[in-house]
Amino acid sequence: MQRCLQIAANALGNIAPNPMVGCVIVHQGKIIGEGFHANYGEAHAEVNAINSVKDKSFLPESTLYVSLEPCAHHGKTPPCSDLIIKSGIKKVVIASIDTNALVSGKGIEKLKTAGVEVVAGVLEKEARELNKRFFTFHEKQRPYIILKWAQTADGFIDSKRKNNNEQPLQISSENSKLLLHKWRSEEEAIMVGTNTARLDNPQLNVRLVNGTNPIRIVLDKNLELSQNLNLFDDLQSTFVFNSVKNEKINNLEFISIDFLNDVLKQVINILHERQIQSLIVEGGSKLLQSFISANLWDEARVFISETFIGDGVAAPKLNAQPLSIENSATDKICFFRNFPTF
């Protein structure tokens, strides 16, 4: 099962809204086949694992290990539970039940009805952690939310600036920026507030690594942001939440919401409707603090440099202790979790 989880992780960033799944087939103590779900719409892990077995006559005497309950419905591909039954495999070991309403126990039920022995719950905690985005989406009816910011040693995320002619304070090291772009490639959407878009003019892409650009999200209540900003370059899908209009122009989509009511809830609900399973929020301080105050977060990843500036824009206040601390060049990275995550 550890091998199932290991190979399943290869698909991070490539298969949403599907979960990451790995499958291993064992015959007399030896792995004779394995596979993972590599890309959305393509063959599932069980299919790839069964197809990888050279001598199919071994299958009836083999055990199939899979990190998530096999599907029992027709989606982009046929049900994996049907293929397992057809292959003659008599025992299936599962890490976690699939809590997607389309599956949730139906795959196990179909296998048992066909006479297949099923063992569930092996490394379940680890399997749920691997697919934390998927499980949060289906169980909490919202994306998995990651907060990210960089702050100085004395607790500031920027100097006090009035316009975009003043350069933002460079807090993170180059190594940290590379890591940040890797993180961006792993999530489906990335969000900033109006001031961050105006003052920092971010690109919010993954130009420093190979990977898929996330959907860019910005709040612009009265559509006052300059169309010359990088966010409007039409190079990747971008949502502009505003109070003025609904309109889609190529990769740019304006989405109207009611700014007199709970803005974050409206945004999160729309992302859920769009099947977006994960969101990384990069700032600024006001937007990040609003997510914290609403208890609308699952992880926080905070870069802390050795720099002292004495005064500036205060970093968000997170009433939690770091789960772990790592070092990246001159930065310290604190990782927080808002338990229970799902």
126, with CB counted inside 10 A (0-12, 13-18, 19+), is middle
Q: Residue 81 has which token pair?
A: 């539970």
Centre a 10 Å sphere on the Cβ of residue 335 and count the other Cβ atoms it contains. Answer: 13
In DSSP terms, 94 is beta-bridged to 66, 120
Specify whether 299 is catalytic: no
Question: How far, rounded to the nearest angstrom, does the alpha carbon of residue 330 sit from its chain's CA centroid?
Answer: 27
Rounded CA-CA distance 263/240 in Å is: 13
Residue owning tokens 């997170």: 318
3-state secondary structure at position 19: coil
What does each C-alpha distance from 262 to 73, 144, 204, 294 come to in angstroms? 36, 19, 25, 10
- Point out the catalytic residue in the list 46, 186, 187, 282: 46
Centre a 10 Å sphere on the Cβ of residue 146 and count the other Cβ atoms it contains. Answer: 21
Contacts of 172 (CB under 8 A, 6+ apart): 150, 180, 303, 305, 331
Among all residues, which ones are annotated catalytic?
46
